[in-house]
């Protein structure tokens, strides 16, 4: 990873730290709790480069899709030894019952039905859309692509506003201001939640490419007939953030075959590019608390996600957890396991429309997503609010085995269009999915 951090970015991060410390002190006086300082010391701007990988069980070499003649491969993947894990399905939209989730009243919608996967045509027949009409789920970039989504340069004022947004998100990560642990701070001053230890993290503090010790990449056309061509060039670390950038740009498909019936090879060009990062073969974990602080753009055609897949087994029998997913105006929290039909998942899904949050500026702010996972259940949270609880006993494969009692690796990606993402024609590009930090804690 490159270490040539710009002075201006460093100054902005220092301003963030000073202001954060001031806010902590004020809350400390108001609430008179010794826990407050430690909790805000854990804000996602600490000085740790991130990701020593301690506590991980090893990726086990799962591959998340078919390489398809070079299309949709994984960059630098040492994962050839694992058994046939396939990639992401069309998420909760495949559940057959996960509708627009309260588009009039703003509520959430829950579904636990079986859904059809809409993944790689090289691995299965083309799937039919679910009944609700939806269908699922190291060259620096051009200088004009470095501005935030609204095109405003990141001067000190903008960075200060970002810092405020991130502080507010972390205040809510456990549903109450400054909830955190009482144990000593871990790497970079990170304070684990009570009863946990920090086992892995990436703070994205060193400008340049994402850490090769933590992340690999997917390449090309991968799943769900999405429009983007995945390439490492669309991911960078800048100003303390992982930036996954979606661009409207034409790139040639090297796997193009005129007359092919395979969507991966019958497109001569991709009209969009983006990036998909994964820890497969590098880091994976069984049980714990996974946290991510990020900012997504909730616009038509965009499909950002933070999710996990099990190391062993073929999808969906390896298990999938969508800790964060957005498309078609709603955020989703989903868990999937296998059924008696290959490539058809049983879904435990919840969705909520962005409009129901009552904040027109919701997607300009950072938000915290979290998974609490043990050998009994999975709880999925957004900004400290429980979105979905999935009991592992209810999410078993046909053989009676739980795909969630094995290590999982994580993925961060920004998909565009495809079977669930919608039409991106009216959305401004470049667009960004920004991640401030990703952390994994496990119980003491």
Cβ atoms of 224 and 325 closer than 8 Å: no
The CA distance from 434 to 150, in Å, is 13
Find the catalytic residue in 203, 226, 325, 434.
Answer: 325
User: Has 218 been annotated as catalytic?
Assistant: no
**Upper half-sphere CA count for residue 388 (Cβ side, 13 Å):** 30
**CA separation for the pair 107, 219 (Å, rounded):** 37
Query: Residue 277 to residues 139, 216, 306: CA-CA distances in angstroms?
Result: 17, 6, 10
Name 341's bridge partners. none
Distance, in Å, from the CA atom of 401 to the CA atom of 395, rounded to the nearest integer, reads 9
User: In terms of Cα–Cα distance, which of 286, 352, 291 is closest to 319?
Assistant: 286
Q: 210 CB contacts (<8 Å, ≥6 apart)?
A: 1, 202, 204, 235, 236, 237, 242, 277
Q: Which residues contact 424 (CB under 8 A, 6 or more apart)?
A: 227, 248, 272, 299, 300, 301, 302, 416, 417
**According to DSSP H, which parts of 84-241 are helical?**
156-171
At 395, give phi and psi (nearest 5°). -125, 65
d(C-alpha 374, C-alpha 331), whole Å: 23
- For the chain, what percentages of helix, strand and coil (3-state, to nearest 5) are there? 20, 30, 50
- Among 225, 238, 291, 320, the active-site one is 320
The DSSP result for 208-262, as a single string, is: BSPPTTT-EEE-B--STT-SEEE-GGGEEEETTEEEEEEEEEEEE-TT--TT-SS
d(CA 236, CA 211) in angstroms, rounded, equals 10
- Number of Cβ within 10 Å of residue 421's Cβ equals 28
**Residue 225 among the catalytic residues:** no
In three-state secondary structure terms, 187 is: helix
| Contact by Cβ (8 Å): 380, 388 | yes
Q: Which residues are catalytic?
A: 320, 325
């Amino acid at each position: 990873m490159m270490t040539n951090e710009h002075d201006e970015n460093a100054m902005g991060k220092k301003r963030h730290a000073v202001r954060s410390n001031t806010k902590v002190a004020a809350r400390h006086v108001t609430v008179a709790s010794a826990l407050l300082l430690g909790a805000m010391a854990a804000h996602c701007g600490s000085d740790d480069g991130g990701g020593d990988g301690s506590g991980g069980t090893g990726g086990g070499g799962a591959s998340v899709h078919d390489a398809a003649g070079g299309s949709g491969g994984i960059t630098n993947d040492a994962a050839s030894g694992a058994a046939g894990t396939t990639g992401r399905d069309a998420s909760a939209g495949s559940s057959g019952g996960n509708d627009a989730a309260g588009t009039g009243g703003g509520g959430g919608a829950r579904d636990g039905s079986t859904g059809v996967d809409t993944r790689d045509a090289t691995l299965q027949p083309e799937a039919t859309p679910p009944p609700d009409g939806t269908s699922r789920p190291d060259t620096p970039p051009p200088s004009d692509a470095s501005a935030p989504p609204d095109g405003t340069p990141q001067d000190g004022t903008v960075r200060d506003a970002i810092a405020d947004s991130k502080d507010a998100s972390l205040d809510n990560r456990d549903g109450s201001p400054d909830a955190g642990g009482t144990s000593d701070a871990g790497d970079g001053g990170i304070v684990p939640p009570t009863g946990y230890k920090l086992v892995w993290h990436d703070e994205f503090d060193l400008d340049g490419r994402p850490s090769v010790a933590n992340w690999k990449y997917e390449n090309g056309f991968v799943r769900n007939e999405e429009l983007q061509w995945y390439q490492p060039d669309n991911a960078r670390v800048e100003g303390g953030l992982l930036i996954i950038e979606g661009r409207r740009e034409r790139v040639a498909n090297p796997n193009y075959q005129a007359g092919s019936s395979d969507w991966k090879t019958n497109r001569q060009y991709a009209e969009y590019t983006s990036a998909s990062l994964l820890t497969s073969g590098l880091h994976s974990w069984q049980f714990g608390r996974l946290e991510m602080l990020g900012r997504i753009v909730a616009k038509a055609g965009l499909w950002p996600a933070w999710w996990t897949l099990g190391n062993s087994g073929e999808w969906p029998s390896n298990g999938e957890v969508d800790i964060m997913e957005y498309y078609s105006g709603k955020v989703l929290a989903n868990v999937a396991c296998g059924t008696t039909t290959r490539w058809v998942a049983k879904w435990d899904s919840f969705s909520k429309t962005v409009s129901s949050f009552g904040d027109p500026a919701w997607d300009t702010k950072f938000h915290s997503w979290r998974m609490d996972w043990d050998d009994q259940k999975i709880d999925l949270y957004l900004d400290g609010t429980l979105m979905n609880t999935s009991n592992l006993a209810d999410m078993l494969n046909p053989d009676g085995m739980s795909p969630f009692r094995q290590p999982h690796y994580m993925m961060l990606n920004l998909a565009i269009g495809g079977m669930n993402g919608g039409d991106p024609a009216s959305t401004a590009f470049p667009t960004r999915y920004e991640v401030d930090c990703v952390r994994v804690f496990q119980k003491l």
